[in-house]
Structure 1
Amino acid sequence: MSNTEIESVNLEVQKERWNQTRVVKAAVDTRLAENEVLLRIDRLALTTNNISYASAGDSLGYWRFFPAEDGWGRLPAMGWAQVAMSAHPDIAEGERVWGFFPLGTHLKVLAGKVSSQSFADVSPHREGLAPVYAQFDRATAYPIYEEAREDQDSLLRGLFMTSWLVEDFLEVNQFFGAGSCLITSASSKTSIALAHCVKQRGTLASVAITSAGNVEFCESLGCYDQVVTYDAIASLDNAGPVVMVDMAGSKKVLSEIHHHIGDNMKYSCRIGATHVEDFGPVDNLPGATPEFFFAPGHLQTRSKELGGAEFMMLLGGAYAGFRQFCDSWLNVARSYGADSVEAAYQQVLAGKANPATGQIISLWEGGE
């Protein structure tokens, strides 16, 4: 390797078989073109959200964020990085930024849309993708930034935004006339965030649908009004209108719930894929047709309607409250190096991760 190159390490997954992984090492040219920035990826959050990105990798463009060889993909993950080198006059070396990164050690971007709050990767392959996924937020401009909470923010900030947007979408649509919201994979952090938002507004009852082993955990959180196991779906009240947010992605679970609720299913959206072994489309279900919720689309709509400053104030205030709520139950575990990260990924993929634990990973051996 020449003195103008450094080695990057990335964990890649097969697009069609997510349990198949490989570690790819490649040379990164440190000679930067105008406005290029080299980011050193420090720590990333690994949650069921990452599996959801794989499930919608082609339909929503997640595989296009960080291109890889045919048949292989680089999963996006949220976390923190440091500017290692910069050829942009308004981006300083050493600056900390938060955003989407590949499961790797480095990312070179073409910086544009630079402001005091953020900058974006305007590389050609990003064209046509939702702008929010190409944006890197500057720590110096983040109003509730605390260095000690970087791991927590990596785990919660992005998924909370998704859940907050879902709940806001329901409110904008007058909750589709429903009195309760069914939430599958209720022990996942995205589901917990949604239940917290529902509870805070106080309009809908939040109903957790989870595995038997996670009932006690879900009940202990205090944000679910009812907890039901997957094998007790038939016990759900189907006498009145409901909405459902499906984080599990299981064809079997989705079908059972729709057939039990029938025409009283007024809105059904799919977000997650925690049950990867049974993920797939389901057609001709009674009630509202399930549809994928595209958070960036609603984000753009609401930002225009409310104004960017008002929107961010509402979201930021809600997130600060959720972050404080998580202090009482969320524990952080860290995995360093390719082997440990691969093992952590397989555990999350298999649905065996402890719901009270948040997994932080770094491809750097021994940590940052």
Structure 2
Amino acid sequence: MTAWTLAVARDDLARTVLAEGPVPDLAGGEALLRVDRVGMTANNVTYAVLGESMRYWEFFPHRDPGLGLVPLWGFAEVAASTVPGVEPGQRVYGYLPPASHLVVRPVRIDGTGFRDGAGHRAALPSPYNAYRLTTGDPVYRADQEDLLVLFRPLFFTSFMLADQLLDNDCHGAAAVLLSSASSKTAYAAAFELRGRGARVIGLTSPGNVAFTGSLGCYDQVVSYDDVATLDAVPAVYLDLSGSPATRAAVRAHFGDRLVRDVAVGLTAQIPNADAAGQVFFAPDQMRKRTADWGREGLDRRFAEAWRRFAAAAAGWVDVETGEGPEALRTAWLDVLAGRAAPRSGRIVRLT
């Protein structure tokens, strides 16, 4: 059996390099995960675009410093293990490389899963180092694996983003504006926010207005060209597109009534953190709520929110499934180039 990795050039994300080699041998304290099922969304493009500044390239380092392994979310199975409590055949959900296998050093093992204690990940944000056993995961359902792959990491960001806003009474705003409103992260946040105070307004391209409006997550949906038609009430702007033109239009129209300008990521591949007034980072709010509610309390609230969302989201996505590294390459290039339709959900089976 051989192993493979699909890397991208860090200075040209459209250039990919597929390499094969032997399946890694294990040392003491290590386990081998066989990557099974992953998703490809605009979130993965964000990881690559911000790979240097946010250290995403460091999770799965490549021996060639000019290449990077774009982190993915999905399911893997334990193929071999030298660690008691981590057994072959166990299925886990977590942060995975675009590769057939991953060697981890399981620590903090319990009934919910484990963390990768590899030295190079020790200083990286801890939520990305957790691997949840399907048998100990309150949100897991076998018939929802595709939804979990596509939405769970995005929904966690959305859940924490909405929670931070609600925790601060939306900073006194009467409206919350989300750019890239047709994106999964945006409409999941809108799903959590709608009906809980401020009006939720989606900003999107003209071609996506109808789809975005059909979701029922927003009180109002307008195209980017129509920002000036909105009521100039106190507003929070959640920037998921990274578009300088949209930010300029929002600032020009709302003026000093724009109470917050928050960078949440990007789907237009333009780093937006420097231009925004603040940057949202989900693990920060997760740490706050873990302190407020405890880990079990956070897990319970997230599971309740996920169940509500999943019931609706199943009708909002058309799952497209491929197999193998070439399908992964195609999915990456399509999402990178913006060729994926809003309803499209790209799943790739790797083994």
The TM-score with structure 2 as length reference comes to 0.96
Q: What is residue 247 of structure 1 aligned with on the other side?
A: 240
Is the alpha carbon distance of 1:251 and 1:14 closer, same or farther for their aligned partners in structure 2, counting shifts above 3 Å? farther
What is the aligned partner in structure 1 of residue 30 from structure 2? 36
Displacement of 1:145 after TM fit?
Answer: 2.0
C-alpha displacement of 1:103: 1.1
Q: Report whether the alignment pairs 1:108 with 2:95.
A: no
Residue 180 (str. 1) matches residue 187 (str. 2): no
Write out per-residue CA displacement over residues 77-128 of structure 1, whole angstroms, 9 at most, x where no aligned residue: 1100000001101111000000000111110011111111110111110021
1:232 aligns with 2:219: no
Matching residue of 2:134: 139
CA distance in 2, matches of 1:349, 1:74: 14
> For residues 1-368 of structure 1, what are the structure 2 equivalents within 5 Å?
6-30=1-25, 32-68=26-62, 69-199=64-194, 201-238=195-232, 240-276=233-269, 278-280=270-272, 283=275, 289-362=276-349, 364=350, 368=351
**CA separation of 1:124 and 1:341: change in aligned 2, threshold 3 A:** same
Name the amino acid aligned to 1:217: F
Matched residue SS, 1:249: coil
- Give 1:291 shift: 2.2
Aligned counterparts of 1:212 and 1:177: Cα–Cα separation in 2 = 30
2:273, 2:296 → 1: CA distance?
Answer: 38
CA distance in structure 2 between the partners assigned to 1:237 and 1:185 by the alignment: 20
One-letter amino acid matched to 2:200: S
SS in 2 for 1:223: coil
Give the residue type in structure 1 aligned to 2:240: M
1:279: Cα distance to partner?
A: 4.2
Contact 2:266–2:272 (CA under 8 A) maintained in structure 1: no
Deviation at 1:339, TM superposition (A): 2.2
Q: Which amino acid is the alignment partner of residue 265 of structure 1? A: L
Tell me the SS of whatever aligns to 2:8: strand
Cα offset, 1:16, TM superposition:
2.6
CA distance in 1 between counterparts of 2:293 and 2:138 reads: 19
Q: Structure 1 vs Structure 2: percent identity of aligned residues? A: 35
CA RMSD, Structure 1 to Structure 2 (Å)? 1.5
Supply the AA of the counterpart residue of 2:43: N
Partner of 1:59: helix, strand, or coil?
Answer: coil
Point out 4+ residue stretches in structure 1 off by more than 4 angstroms. Answer: 278-283
Question: For structure 1, which segment, 89-98 or 262-271, has the greater mean C-alpha deviation from structure 2 after superposition?
Answer: 262-271
Q: Which runs of 5+ in 2 are unaligned?
A: none
Q: Distance in 2 between matches of 1:91 and 1:251?
A: 47
Report the CA distance between 1:137 and its aligned residue.
0.2
- The offset of 1:143, in angstroms, is 2.1
Aligned residue pairs: how many?
Answer: 350
Give the secondary structure class of the aligned counterpart of 1:21.
strand
Deviation at 1:280, TM superposition (A): 4.8
Q: What is the rounded CA distance, in whole Å, between the counterparts of 1:38 and 1:282 in structure 2? A: 39
Structure 2 CA distance, aligned partners of 1:214 and 1:99? 31
TM-score of the two chains, using structure 1 as the length reference: 0.91
Greater shift, 190-199 or 10-19, is seen at 10-19
Secondary structure of 2:310 counterpart: helix
Task: State the distance in 1 between where 2:113 and 2:29 align.
Answer: 14
Comparing 306-315 with 78-87, greater Cα deviation is found at 306-315
Distance 1:234 1:348 in 2: 30
SS of equivalent residue, structure 2 residue 14: coil
Q: Distance in 2 between matches of 1:281 and 1:171?
A: 22
Cα distance in 2 for partners of 1:145, 1:320 equals 10
Q: Matched residues in 1 for 2:134 and 2:61: separation?
A: 27
Q: Which whole-Å deviations, capped at 9, do the CAs of 1:175-226 have from their partners, x for residues lacking one? A: 1110111111111111110110011x52121111111111110111111111
